[in-house]
Each structure stands twice: as structure tokens, then as C-alpha cells.
Amino acid sequence: MDKSKRYVLWVEELCKDDIYVAGKKCCNLGEMRQAGLPVPPGFVLSLEAYKKFMTDSGVESAILEYLNKNMAKLKQDVGMFDEASAYIMNLLESKEMPAELKELIYEYYENLCEQCALPEVPLAVRSSGPVSMPGQFDTFLNVRGKDEVIKKIIKVWASSFNARAMAYRLQRGLQVESSPIGVAAIKMVNAKSSGVMFTLDPLNGDRSRIFIEGSWGLGESLVSGQVTPDKYILDKVTLEVSKKTVCSKEMELVYGPEGDVVPRKISEDRRNAPCLSDEELLQLARYGKTIEKHYGVPQDIEWAVDVDLPFPNNIILLQARPETIWSKKQSGPAIESKGSATEIIARQLMQGIRF
């Protein structure tokens, strides 16, 4: 069946051209998987699935009706968006998943449980929009059980109606009543440590470096800036470590007994230990090189080390996207390239060397 018509797909069925099938994040994961990189297994709900839910459940027309009634107020008063958002999100969350989708999600979830040899594999359920939108959509971690998965998928869809996103769509003259996004439902990584990796030095744009930041536990603590992470800089070509800064890491996020994410204080002895072993660091950097080669441009990558798996399978890549700051800078030549080597040397010797 044509990919674009399907409601649920495996991550690895997607490639980079499929952003209008299931959004950027899902495509990225699919593309990475196809490039032989270790992304966690999972399935995705396509944009079609979103549309089907919106029409079959009657939500779309209900939203239209609500919007028509309140459009004037919305345009005048930004504060109204909060009220509208609450109303619409509530509306979505009150609806049932259409039967056809429900069956499919059950099927894929059970299959995934089998693959992972776990009765109720915990998932991360995340949004995957085809275009970048301001306003964070919701992400749900550690989701267990097929009905819980369905509930969270609907919640992610609902989050496309958060106030900022709606206001943005209205201002840009985009459709307000519907904004199809994909949803990625992928296996949770039981992260011993996690972090980000850039395949260049974000401080100076040096493309011969790989820059890695990491901390103990789940990645959220790093993203939200609660911990000063360890920093590693490697030579991209030789993979030699050129800089290693191990910081004192006071806390980490871990799964609580209820499957929720809780902060935990890090014991004295682990606090100052590097969150990546030498072999993990090296393997991660190798993946960084592979990803950059695959996409042809420097990448910004989220990674984790799974506590349940042995090395090297424990290194998991959660996401990769093109690095945007340095890559966009169209830098001119570092020095004038005109003429013979002698001419270049002469010009440079004239200026003197400032070491």
C-alpha cells in the first residue's frame, strides 16, 4: 500500500522524503535506521491518521464551529487563545480513537512488545510535525499498555492546539482547525546517561571536531539545563579525544516506581565520574561521523546509553537534525587562495603569524 495512505508505519519504513507522511522526527529516525544507526524501535502514526481521527470523531467540525463563533474575539484578544485551547484540547481528549486506528495501534504495539521481549514495553510518545512550529507539543515518557498508548497519542494530537500554536497559525493565515502532525511511539531507552552530540564544535564551527555533552540519567535534565554536563571534544578524523571536561553532576532524572520521571540526587562517588566510558565515547563519535556522512551536513544529535544493553548495543541515537547555526554561515575562504603556494606563503609571512 502507498505509504502516504497508511495510518501506522514502522519507523524503518520511512526515509527523509517522507516528512508529509509522518513528520520530520519520524522521517529522521527512519532515515537513521536505514543508514544502519542504532535508533530505538517503534512505530509512527501518520498525518493521515491524525486527519482520520479529526474527521471521524467529528472534532474538526466541532472546532470549526467553535472558531467561527469566536473568531472576532480571538483576533482581538490574545488571552482568548488560552480559553480556546483548553476547550479544544479537552474536546479531543474526550473522543475515542476510531476503531480502525485502534486495531492497528494494538497490532503494532503488541508486535513491538514481542520484538522487545517485554509484556508491556514502555514507550516515548512524541509529536513529529512536518514543519517547524513554535510552541512545544507534548511528549509522554514511559507509556505502558496499549490503551495508555492510545490515550497519549490523542494527547499529543491535542497538544497541536496549544495556545501558542493556534495563535501562530491564525496570524500566518494557516488552517487553525487542523494541523496534521505525526506521532512517534518508540521504545523508551532506559538511559544510564544521555546527552547531545554536534558533529562540529558549536563554539567556533570547527568541522574537524565532534562535540559531545552528556550527563547521568534521562536526557531531559540536560535539555532543561538543570545539570552542568560533561563535555568531550574529539578529532572527527582521528577520533582522538582533544578535550575532556568532567563536571560535577548533582542530579539525574530516572523512572520512578510508577513509571513517571523523577529527579534523583547523585551519590558523591558517581557525581564526578565521566558519564561515558572511553569505548562508549568512541563508539558514539563513530556514529556521529556516520550520520554526518549520510546526510552530508553537520548534525545535531540526541543520544542515550541504555542501562539494560551490553556495549556496543547500548548506544542509542534518539534524534538527528542538521546543525543550523554554523552550517548556514556562508563562510568565505579563510585566506586568499589566489596564486602559487609561494605567493600564499609570501602574503601570509607579510602579515606575520599570530599564535
User: Which positions lie near another protein, rule CB under 8 A?
Assistant: 201, 204, 206-209, 233, 235-238, 240-243, 331-337, 340-355
Helix then strand count (H, E) for the chain reads 12, 13
Pick 90 or 324: Cβ nearer another protein: 324
DSSP secondary structure letter of residue 227 = S
Closest approach, Cβ 324 to another protein, in A, equals 15
Pick 173 or 296: Cβ nearer another protein: 296
Cell of 304: 542515550
Pick 173 or 352: Cβ nearer another protein: 352
Distance, in Å, from the CA atom of 342 to the CA atom of 206, rounded to the nearest integer, reads: 26
Pick 132 or 337: Cβ nearer another protein: 337
- At residue 118's C-alpha, the angle toward residues 113 and 120, to 5°, is 70
Hey, how many other C-beta atoms are within 10 angstroms of the C-beta on 100? 12
Pick 30 or 288: Cβ nearer another protein: 288
Distance, in Å, from the CA atom of 40 to the CA atom of 223, rounded to the nearest integer, reads: 20
**Residue 213's closest CA among 98, 112, 303?**
303
Closest approach, Cβ 187 to another protein, in A, equals 34
Sheet holding 315-322, edge to edge: 241-245, 230-235, 209-216, 191-198, 299-306, 315-322
Closest approach, Cβ 350 to another protein, in A, equals 5
Give the H/E segment covering residue 70: helix 59-76
Pick 1 or 350: Cβ nearer another protein: 350
Closest approach, Cβ 233 to another protein, in A, equals 6
Closest approach, Cβ 325 to another protein, in A, equals 14
DSSP labels for 143-200?
E-SHHHHHHHHHHHHHGGG-HHHHHHHHHTT--SS----EEEEEEPP-EEEEEEEESS
Closest approach, Cβ 268 to another protein, in A, equals 22
**Residue 120's closest CA among 262, 303, 304, 259?**
259
Closest approach, Cβ 349 to another protein, in A, equals 5
Contacts by 103-111 with C-beta closer than 8 Å and gap 24+? 104/7, 104/8, 105/8, 105/45, 105/146, 105/149, 105/150, 105/153, 106/146, 107/8, 108/8, 108/10, 108/43, 108/185, 109/43, 109/146, 109/149, 109/185, 110/146
DSSP labels for 292-338?
HHHHSS-EEEEEEEETTS-TTTTEEEEEEEE--HHHH-----SS---
Closest approach, Cβ 256 to another protein, in A, equals 39
DSSP secondary structure letter of residue 41 = P
